[in-house]
Amino acid sequence: MTAKENKLLQLLEKVPDERGKQGRRHKLSHVLYLSILATLMGATDYNQIYIWINSHIQSTQIKKLLGVEFIVAPKRSAIAKILADADSTAVEIAFRK
């Protein structure tokens, strides 16, 4: 599957990103998507999500799913802040679709 075929990623890209433009290093849709994958693989807290993302972010399959050739893993604190600040209703709507 490529990023163009990745329906969940496409839906997550519609979630509004309320973060300021300055310092925005990671795409919201990528962090949400990777966090969902990590959770489906058993992660139950921010630290476990971080560990899963950090362990898998450089795999060819993940890069292909995200449609990128290069990606930097977000820090644990960034993951926690992004997930805490994300519009949970919009994320739920995207996930249910």
Cα gap 23→35, rounded to integer Å? 20
Contact 15, 32 (CB under 8 A): yes
Residue type at 27 in one-letter notation: K
Q: Supply the pTM of this predicted model.
A: 0.90
Contact 28, 17 (CB under 8 A): yes
Residue 20's pLDDT is what?
83
Using one digit for the tens of pLDDT, what is the confidence trace for 8-56? 999 999 999 988 887 788 999 999 999 999 999 999 999 999 999 999 9
In the block, tokens 């990606």 appear at 71
Using one digit for the tens of pLDDT, what is the confidence trace for 52-76? 999 999 999 999 889 898 889 999 9
Residue 19's pLDDT is what?
86
pLDDT score of 77 more than 80: yes
Residue 53's pLDDT is what?
96
